[in-house]
Structure 1
Amino acid sequence: MRATISALLLLILTACGPTPDPEPVAPPPTPTDKQVTGDPVVDSIRTEQARIEELFTTGMLQQQNVMYNCDGLMGIAELHKKDGQVVLVRNRYDDGENRIITDRFYYKDSVLIHQFSETLRWEFDGTTRPDQNGNEVPGITNYLGRYRYYIQDGKVVKFLKRKFVFSSFEPEPAEESFPLEEATPPSVLPYRSRLAQSAIDDSKVDCSVFK
């Protein structure tokens, strides 16, 4: 996979010249793979997700932050409201070591309809390269997983995931370069959905979620 990514990077550099600065963090990409098109339930959820993202990016939502510290695991759950009703919860925390977790929970009429989660784990790969000041910088291998849960009537009706690996010395590859897998939906909602719900209900996070 590293060889493939390197070859793609070389081709891009040859065709387009110097690599541009990284783009700002964008909303989670909407998958267009054939596995998720044509399903009325999924398409309806995606339409509502896009509507909520539009409200968020245009500053039409009111934000309330809920900070938490669960046995050293520190994070923040952002509650985003439209007309006093939560439509989006953005959660982020790290485990204090080498893993960062982010979630986006989307709600329609106060009911969870979609969860987009991303897990980034990294480790040193044993290589170094000089930076612009000549200092040796250690290389890092990033393991990125993205998970999409489409939810109807409190049950996951479709579960999609995509995983890829890339080096810190290379730009993050395009997500579409890696296959989107359809997996068996879990029998219960993802456990961090309870984190979001406790933040909504109590303006604090129930740390038992992590136990």
Structure 2
Amino acid sequence: MAYNWRCPYCSHASTITAENQSVGFHYFEHNNSLGKELGFQIVSTVCPNNDCKEVTLNASFGHTQYVGGRTRLAAPIIQNWALKPSSSAVVFPDYVPDPIRQDYEEACAILNLSPKASATLSRRCLQGIIRDYWKIVKGRLVDEIIALEDKIDPDTWAAIDAVRKIGNIGAHMEKDINIIVEVDPEEAQLLLELIETLIKDWYIARFKRQAHLAKIKAAADNK
């Protein structure tokens, strides 16, 4: 089945088909402690972009089910691994401040291993973005987020506010950002996706706008 995909190396958006991807599957029981048939799946994807052609490898482990004439993994998956690249981190340009990129990359790297540690780094990263980009310093992350409402567009605010109110994340944003929070993997993933969006919409969009305006000014000066 074809599906939309973005390469983690070159960020090229494309459609993945059987020409670009293969799936290997191994299943077993062997009287294991879970008492059910288990499966291990590895998916290899080659970027269709001719300027990239990098290989992405992902592995999954879980219970099996027989569907459509073949054995496959059943939801929920017990464990996932990003083998190549080793995390899902987007490679952001160096004009995004180092501490923000480092917290984000580390949060991505440990997402599957420890969602609660990933979420802690993400909350620190989010606070770093607000303080650096908007110069809002209030002490508590929740107060800094609330102060954003009148400064950003309604859609962005709605997304930030929605993530802020999710499960344990919202409650602990009122405390020290370094407190370890028990969160679901899906909640930790949402935090990372929010951070990626904010970096793109704020830092990268500002850089592109400034570069475009500088180009216009340079062209005008040459006339």
Same fold (TM over 0.5): no
More helix by share: 2
- Provide the TM-score with structure 2 as the length reference: 0.26
Q: Of the two, which has the highest radius of gyration?
A: 2
More strand by share: 1
- Provide the TM-score with structure 1 as the length reference: 0.27
